[in-house]
Each structure stands twice: as C-alpha cells, then as structure tokens.
Amino acid sequence: MYKLLLCWKYLRTRYLAMVCIVSVMLGVATLIVVNSVMGGFSTKLKERLHGLLSDVVLESYDYDGFTDAPSKMALIRNDPLLSNEVEAMTATLEIFAMLQFTFREVPFTRPVRIIGIEPESRKAVGGFAEHLVNPRNHDKPSFNLDESARERYVIRRASRGVDFPGPREAPNLNEPPPPDPPPSKPHEPQGVIVGYAIAHYRDRNAPADLPNKDVRTLEPGDEVVITTVSGAKLSPVFDRFVVADYFKSEMSEYDSNYVFMPIDHLQKLRTMEDRVTSIQIKLKDYDKAPKVVARLKELFANAPLEVQTWEQKQGAVLAAIRVEKGILNILLFLIIAVAGFGILAIFSMIVVEKTRDIGILKALGASNGGILTIFIGYGLLLGLVGAGLGTMIGLEITVHINDIEKFIASVTGQDIFPRDVYYFDKIPTDINLFSVLVVNLGSVGIAVLFSILPALRASMLHPVRALRYE
C-alpha cells in the first residue's frame, strides 16, 4: 500500500518529474501526429496508385500485346473458381505516343500514353468514369462531344480553315517517309479524353487569392494530333482527334500522361486489330487476390502473359512508402528514447535525493522488492500520464492539422503545405488506432525500462548507509 501512496505523492510533489512527463508527452504527440499524417498520405497515395489499375492485371510483356482477348475473358468467366471471384473485366490497349496541339498560336508537343478502352466495361472495372471532369460522363462514359464542345470545334475549325499544322518534318530526310495514316473521318475526328494536367498548367504568377490558378491550354472541342507507332515494324502513324473531356484523378503521374480513346479506334490506328496489351480484372473481394493470381497463372501458363495484382505492379512505390514510414518511426522512437534517457537521469537524481527516505522505509521493514516497485511504479505512472496527455494532444493536433497549418502559414508567411505539389486540397490524415496503441505501449515501456536501473540502485541501497546519508 505504501508503494501506491508514495508513487502518488512523488508524482504530485516532484516538479522534476513533470519534465519526464512533458518529454514523454511530446514524444508521443509527435509520433501520433506524424504517423497519422504519413498514414493519411500513404492511404491517399495508395488510393491513387490503385486508381487506374484494376485489382488484377493480365498483361503482355511488350507493346504488341496479345490476340483474342474475348476468348481469354470467356475462359476466365467459365473457370469455376474465377467466375465466383471476378466482378468485371475489360481489355485495354496501351501505347506511348506524342500529342500535339496549338495554344495561343504556339505548337506544343507532349509525350503521352494512349490507352484504348471500351468505355462501358472500363467503367465497370472502376477507377475511370468517376475521374472524368464532365459530369455527363460519370454514369455513361463516352468519347462523344457534348453540345458546347461541338460548337467550339465547329467555330475553331471554321476560323482556322481546314488545315491544321501537321507534325514537323522528320529531321533525317534519308529515312522513308512515314506511311499514310489509316483513313479517318475527315470532318468528325474521334473524341479523346486527355489527362487534366496535359490540358492545363499552373500559373505561378497568379494572384495568391485566386482559388484556381490553372490555365487551360486545351478545351473540349480543340483539335489535337496524336502520333504513335504501328504494327510490328513500329512505323509512325498519326491522326487528328478532338478533346471530349478531361481525366482528373489528382494523381499527377496519370493526369499528365494519359490520353484515353476507344480501343477499336486505337487498334485501327496501329493496324493491330484484335490485339490488346492487358486485361483488367476487378475482384469481388480483394483479399482473394493471391488465389486468383495463382489460378490465372495456371490458366495462362503457356501464354506470354504476366499476372499481377495492382500492389505488385506498384511494388516499388508501395515499398518506398513502407520503408519511409518504417524509418521515420524508428527515428521518432529515438525521440522517445531521448525522453527515456531524461527519465533515467531525473530518476537517478530522485533516487539520490530520496536516499534517506529509502533507508527509513527499509528500517521500517520495506523489502528491496517493495522499493524497486515504488520506483518502477513511479516510472510507469510517469509514462502513463505522459503517454495519456501526449495521445490527447497528438489526436487534437491531428484532427485540427489543417487549421494549424493555415495559422502557421499566415503567421510565418511560408506555405507549409503547397497544395499544387501534392494535388491535395487539405492535409490528409488517417488515425490508426493500432498505431496509437503501439506508440502508447512503446513509450510507457520505454519509461518503465529506463526507470529500472535507478529503481534497482534504490532497492540495493544499504539501509544503514542510506540512513547516514546527508
């Protein structure tokens, strides 16, 4: 009983102990905030990395792709195991390309990735239709121009005349000229959906209070020329297209690279009818992915196809996030270890200060174990109080992090969280109860661990020497 009483009294009367509490508190609060923000970022990032990719991707090794996608999809659909797991499938054709357009009479060229899709089934797989800017396309994605786009197209075309500046001359004149493009409808080019970042740039000189600093370089209805390679010989092919909509996933890698067009049109352009480069599969339950991947590998063992989950495909980035988080956690736990050394030092001082009291308690019959318990209990109490306060503060900061950021930015004039870098409109946070628990247990554990040594010293004190101590 005296142990509890003394722990409690020491906690309330030793101001040095407050220092221990504050150091544990700050460590815990920092860990919780950083973990929550990192967790928020990685969750958001994962969402976006997943974004365009379906749960499982069946992919050819090169740009030539593979033939007969429908029969492969039928094979999957008829497989007893897979048919229960697969929710939706779609075939896509992906190829690099160059996109050209004029903005304020200046020609621009951008390297892009063209993705040929079949809109309806692509929507079913997910991660596509919801990112289209034109709300009309959310329910029923299509490559057709809406009214205003068509109007703009007609006006622009009329004012510019028929001729559109084509691709510049190839620098090497000795090479044979590129073959003629496949015939396309002369007056109504195919609509394409371009990535938002291809069609916009951020005006860094814009006034700070302007909510949207994006300058639009391509409007729906504007014409673009896309040049890519065709067939096995990789000879250049190009065609005119008209922008129908934007794709805005807020994942800059996608938004600045991807251009979507109907898969059959891309197949014709590249003269590779019936060939696709991947089949995207959406699962009913992503937890079953390893089983599905194994079965698909078995099913297509002889085909030159790679089967991967989206996580395996994004493995490098995901691993980087994991490593980053792990290292950060180790570093931050060092903060708490520093707090631990503080506890060690302060406890050693307290033990010295309390030497006589320890002698008294021993003279009155307290055992070594009892003295040990007092000081370890004291450390535990400091850890608990510190961790408890730290958790409260940490959670509070995490919840209000955006207000705090705004406040600090307004005081210092420094943009702490540049939104255009991350494409997030606010700092994402994700409070993970498990990690809060681990942080708490860890810091309390460290507090106890570092109080063991002084506690042992206290318990080993010889009563007579302790009593004589002045």
Residues binding other proteins (CB under 8 A): 1-6, 9-10, 13, 356-357, 359-368, 370, 462-464, 467
In this structure, what DSSP letter does residue 40 have? Answer: H
Nearer to other proteins, 313 or 354 (CB): 354
Nearer to other proteins, 272 or 466 (CB): 466
Q: How far is the CB of 362 from other proteins (least distance, A)?
A: 8
Question: Do 325 and 434 meet the contact criterion of CB atoms below 8 Å apart?
Answer: no
Give me Rg for the CA atoms of the chain: 33
Q: How far is the CB of 383 from other proteins (least distance, A)?
A: 19
What stretches of 43-155 adopt beta strand conformation (E)? Answer: 56-60, 66-67, 86-103, 106-117
For residues 229 and 178, give the distance between their C-alpha atoms in angstroms, rounded to a whole number. 10
Longest CA pairwise span in the chain (Å) = 107
Q: How far is the CB of 12 from other proteins (least distance, A)?
A: 8
For residues 22 and 18, give the distance between their C-alpha atoms in angstroms, rounded to a whole number. 6
Nearer to other proteins, 180 or 470 (CB): 470
Nearer to other proteins, 356 or 406 (CB): 356
Q: How far is the CB of 347 from other proteins (least distance, A)?
A: 16
Residue type present at position 371: I
Nearer to other proteins, 20 or 332 (CB): 20
Nearer to other proteins, 265 or 362 (CB): 362
Question: Do 350 and 454 meet the contact criterion of CB atoms below 8 Å apart?
Answer: yes
Q: How far is the CB of 385 from other proteins (least distance, A)?
A: 17
Nearer to other proteins, 18 or 98 (CB): 18
Q: How far is the CB of 418 from other proteins (least distance, A)?
A: 53
CA dihedral 463, 464, 467, 470 (to 10 degrees): -120
Nearer to other proteins, 364 or 433 (CB): 364
Q: How far is the CB of 6 from other proteins (least distance, A)?
A: 7
Q: How far is the CB of 382 from other proteins (least distance, A)?
A: 16
Q: How far is the CB of 360 from other proteins (least distance, A)?
A: 5
Count of Cβ atoms closer than 10 Å to residue 186 Cβ: 8
Count of Cβ atoms closer than 10 Å to residue 79 Cβ: 17
Nearer to other proteins, 324 or 353 (CB): 353
What is the sign of the dihedral through the CA atoms of 188, 193, 195 and 200? positive
Question: Do 423 and 249 meet the contact criterion of CB atoms below 8 Å apart?
Answer: no
Nearer to other proteins, 109 or 367 (CB): 367
Question: Do 346 and 386 meet the contact criterion of CB atoms below 8 Å apart?
Answer: no
Give the containing element (helix H, strand E) for 306: strand 305-309
SS (H, E, C) 175-226: CCCCCCCCCCCCCCCEEEEEEHHHHEEECCCCCCCCCCCEEECCCCCCEEEE
Nearer to other proteins, 337 or 467 (CB): 467
Residue 75, SS3 per DSSP: helix
35 φ, ψ (degrees, to nearest 5): -60, -40
Partners of 247 in the beta sheet?
Answer: 132, 195
For residues 197 and 193, give the distance between their C-alpha atoms in angstroms, rounded to a whole number. 12
For residues 466 and 368, give the distance between their C-alpha atoms in angstroms, rounded to a whole number. 13
Q: How far is the CB of 353 from other proteins (least distance, A)?
A: 10
Q: How far is the CB of 50 from other proteins (least distance, A)?
A: 53
Nearer to other proteins, 21 or 115 (CB): 21
In this structure, what DSSP letter does residue 66 have? Answer: E
Q: How far is the CB of 453 from other proteins (least distance, A)?
A: 21
Q: Could you tell me if residue 423 is left (phi over 0), alpha (psi between -120 and 50 degrees) or otherwise beta?
A: left
Query: Which two tokens mark 286?
Result: 């992503």
